[in-house]
Amino acid sequence: MKGGGRELVRVGDLGEFGLIKRLDAIVRESSNPRLLFGIGDDAAAWEPEPGTVTVATTDCLIEGVHFDLATTSWTDLGWKALAENLSDVAAMGCRPRYALIGLALPNDRLLEDAEALYRGFAQCGAEYNCSIVGGDTVASPIVSLHVTVVGESLPSVDEPRLLKRSSAQPGDSVAVTGPLGGSAAGLRLLQRGPGREARRAPDEALIESHLRPRPRVIVGLALVEAGIRCAIDVSDGLLADLGHICERSYVNAEIDLARIPIDPAVVAEFRSEATDFALSGGEDYELIAVGPEACLEQASTTLSELGEPALIIIGTIVSSDDHGTVQIRNADGQPLKLGRAGYEHFAIAKP
Amino acid sequence: MKGGGRELVRVGDLGEFGLIKRLDAIVRESSNPRLLFGIGDDAAAWEPEPGTVTVATTDCLIEGVHFDLATTSWTDLGWKALAENLSDVAAMGCRPRYALIGLALPNDRLLEDAEALYRGFAQCGAEYNCSIVGGDTVASPIVSLHVTVVGESLPSVDEPRLLKRSSAQPGDSVAVTGPLGGSAAGLRLLQRGPGREARRAPDEALIESHLRPRPRVIVGLALVEAGIRCAIDVSDGLLADLGHICERSYVNAEIDLARIPIDPAVVAEFRSEATDFALSGGEDYELIAVGPEACLEQASTTLSELGEPALIIIGTIVSSDDHGTVQIRNADGQPLKLGRAGYEHFAIAKP
């Protein structure tokens, strides 16, 4: 019955972001006066009462697609699955508060593994003051995790105070909250296996940044306090994630390659690949913050008072006829030729 | 390394509820003063501000375990996946407000199927004033859906007004909000296939009650308004779900078989099996309400003013030395011998 003369489009032909656009169009009409925004930012946001904003975000992690139990322990997996969602809330400038966890598991998996997983959830939740309040456990042919986190904005008297993808403006500076590339390098080390010699301390630190990312909740709140209104977290990679900001804000970005902070251990270990890892590796869970330079400096002052590292300015937002482009310039000011890489969940079909 | 002399427990040995208890124990310490309750009820509940309660619930649905695309269309699947979660919110006496949807899908699935699924979500969301505000789409070897719904209680001046599993008291009456068994009968008809003759109208209605359940949101709110404080929705089956109330409230229940409302079309079509379907079929998404008879009568009055059917009282809550038992009595007052059936997501190993 299907396919009779019609063109069959498969979800893999569209890519993740194309699919989201199509599905968003179907559900967008079910609108709500208290909804600030739905699909398309790091989290959905609504105003239960004037002056407070609730945000909520959800992530699916599938064995063999998003994680590999050969290189990740169950406890690390629990930490990371929750941390990814906390990072989305941090990227909204909000405090994570409550988490719900869906666990799909084959019947023959060991109880001790499920318990180790939940210890990871509990450790990460305790570290970031996020209570695990509910969930669902079901039998399934494959392991998958589904984490939802609900958070709250800082109170406000007039406009809600949030970090959005859509508020970048020409003339704004672009900053990152810490070194990039460590997570991709850590993954590469894990995939290589332990090797003959024991791992050195810098390698362990890279692996730790892959397995136990530390969402920038405090930094996100400091950004909001300093008047910044635009951010995203580095999950798909600097190029891809800054690209999301540019697309949603109808602007472009120009970044100086030399100013991008790359973890020194990544440079030492991976030399020629280090830049790739920093630009496109993803899963660093640092924030990209965009706003007036004075606000970014004020945020840095607050952060150093809190014992947190200062922000690192790496470029500028510009306007032009097209939008959504991130241009990287080398030390001579020449643009680098780069695809806008970054992880997409559905492979885009190549002709 | 594993299993060296230690006893290996698999999740299938524990059953779903045993597993939840073990995992709950691990995350429970991450508590929060504004959390009213976490794992163990139809939804988690917290108090963002005094006088308002937010509830949240999540469900995982796995292809081949929870749904079969041979008997369910994508649009019906979308409706039902959202409706199940709305029913959990209804069973708390709250209004569903916001939904997040996780969709895991193989790359080669058709876009039109994903769009049909989202039309089902949109239809159900529009019907029940629940906005679909976010989600995640990922590639996966199998299809699975993960729905989270956030809802709100009616406002209160002192104690939060919620329907909990744990508030049944000896002397309370037990009521249901509508006929049972229709969903299980509808599933049986679907599994039989269309057969030689076209289906008759009563069969279509049974199939509809399986594929397009109607969560009792209005009824849940009316129960709360009338002073009822204990309910659950019929997802696993009357015996199992009333059993959950009895366990959590440390009481037992006595039910008169003759008073259990069974869909007349189920009796006509399935005769001897009709009682089984009504007691243990599940997925009817009616509510079981427990409270003083006067409150239940007041709720019925409100419901009939709203054009909704009255509640049907089917039994009583009793106390005794043990707890968690649901006793069914036949017309002579004799107890029926019954296992406490009901769907568990992990098969319990038989010796």
Is residue A35 less than 8 Å (CB to CB) from chain B? yes
Q: What residues 101-160 of chain B have any CB closer than 8 A to a CB of chain A?
A: 101-112, 114-115, 118-119, 121-122, 125-126, 129-142, 144, 146, 148, 150, 152
Considering only CB atoms, which chain A residues are within 8 Å of B8?
110, 112
Among chain B residues, the shortest Cα distance to A48 is held by B152
Return the number of other C-beta atoms located less than 10 Å from residue A56's C-beta.
Answer: 27
For residue B44, the SS3 value is: strand
Res. A53 pLDDT band, cuts 50 70 90? very high
The residue among B263 and B35 whose pLDDT is bigger is: B263
Residue B29 has pLDDT above 70, yes or no: no
Choose from A13, A61, A94, A100 for mutation: most chain B CBs within 10 A: A100
Highest average pLDDT, of A186-195, B325-334, B336-345, comes from B325-334
Asked if A30 lies within 8 A of B125 by C-beta distance, the reply is yes
Give me the pLDDT at residue A2, please. 46
The residue among A156 and A3 whose pLDDT is bigger is: A156
Is residue A70 less than 8 Å (CB to CB) from chain B? no
Asked if B152 lies within 8 A of A48 by C-beta distance, the reply is yes
Asked if A146 lies within 8 A of B60 by C-beta distance, the reply is yes
Give me the pLDDT at residue B130, please. 94
Res. A41 pLDDT band, cuts 50 70 90? confident
Give me the pLDDT at residue A330, please. 87
Res. A11 pLDDT band, cuts 50 70 90? confident
Three state DSSP letters for chain A: CCCCCCCCCEHHHHHHHHHHHHHHHHHCCCCCCCEEECECECCEEEEEECCEEEEEEEEEEEECCCECCCCCCHHHHHHHHHHHHHHHHHCCCCEEEEEEEEEEECCCCEHHHHHHHHHHHHHHHHHCCCEEEEEEEEECCCCEEEEEEEEECCCCCCCCCCCEHHHCCCCCEEEECCCECHHHHHHHHHHHCCCCCCCCHHHHHHHHHHHCCCCCHHHHHHHHHCCCCEEEECCCCHHHHHHHHHHHHCCEEEEEHHHCCECHHHHHHHHHHHHHHHHHHCCCCCEEEEECHHHHHHHHHHHHHCCCCCCEEEEEEECCCCCCCEEEECCCCCECCCCCCCCCCCCCCCC
Give me the pLDDT at residue B2, please. 46
Q: For chain A, give the percent of residues with pLDDT over 70.
A: 91
For residue B249, the SS3 value is: helix
Q: What is the ipTM of this complex?
A: 0.88
Among A290-294, A335-339, B211-215, the least confident range: A335-339
Residue A7 has pLDDT above 80, yes or no: no
Q: What value does the mean pLDDT take over residues A161-167?
A: 94
Query: Mind listing the pLDDT tens digit for each residue in A179-215?
Result: 999 999 999 999 887 654 567 888 899 999 999 999 9
**Residue B137, min C-alpha distance to chain A (Å):** 7
Query: Mind listing the pLDDT tens digit for each residue in A264-320?
Result: 999 999 988 999 999 999 999 999 999 999 999 999 999 999 999 999 999 999 987
Residue B23 has pLDDT above 80, yes or no: yes
**Residue B96, min C-alpha distance to chain A (Å):** 12
Residue B348 has pLDDT above 60, yes or no: no
Mean pLDDT value across chain A: 89
Give me the pLDDT at residue B339, please. 52
The residue among A287 and B31 whose pLDDT is bigger is: A287
Asked if A19 lies within 8 A of B109 by C-beta distance, the reply is no
Return the number of other C-beta atoms located less than 10 Å from residue B267's C-beta.
Answer: 18
Q: At what angle do helices B182-192 and B201-211 cross, to 10 degrees?
A: 110
Q: What residues 205-244 of chain B have any CB closer than 8 A to a CB of chain A?
A: none
Q: What value does the mean pLDDT take over residues A14-38?
A: 78
Among chain A residues, the shortest Cα distance to B349 is held by A107
Torsion of the alpha carbons at A235, A238, A244 and A245, rounded to the nearest 10: 110
Asked if A12 lies within 8 A of B108 by C-beta distance, the reply is yes
Query: Mind listing the pLDDT tens digit for each residue in B282-318?
Result: 999 999 999 999 999 999 999 999 999 999 999 999 9
Give me the pLDDT at residue A103, please. 94
Considering only CB atoms, which chain A residues are within 8 Å of B13?
111
Q: Measure the CA–CA gap between B44 and B30, rounded to whole angstroms.
A: 14
Considering only CB atoms, which chain B residues are within 8 Å of A115?
22-23, 26
Distances (CA, A) of A112 to A132, A143, A217, B351: 19, 15, 31, 21
Q: Measure the CA–CA gap between B82 and B99, rounded to whole angstroms.
A: 8
Asked if A9 lies within 8 A of B112 by C-beta distance, the reply is yes
Asked if B44 lies within 8 A of A118 by C-beta distance, the reply is no
> Whole-prediction pTM value?
0.90
Give me the pLDDT at residue B51, please. 82
Give me the pLDDT at residue A3, please. 45
CB A271 within 8 A of CB A181: no
Res. A339 pLDDT band, cuts 50 70 90? low
Beta bridge partners of B252: B318
Of A61, A114, A131, the CB nearest to B38: A131
Query: Mind listing the pLDDT tens digit for each residue in A74-91?
Result: 999 999 999 999 999 999
Asked if B110 lies within 8 A of A65 by C-beta distance, the reply is no
Q: What value does the mean pLDDT take over residues B323-347?
A: 73
Q: Measure the CA–CA gap between B167 and B244, rounded to whole angstroms.
A: 12
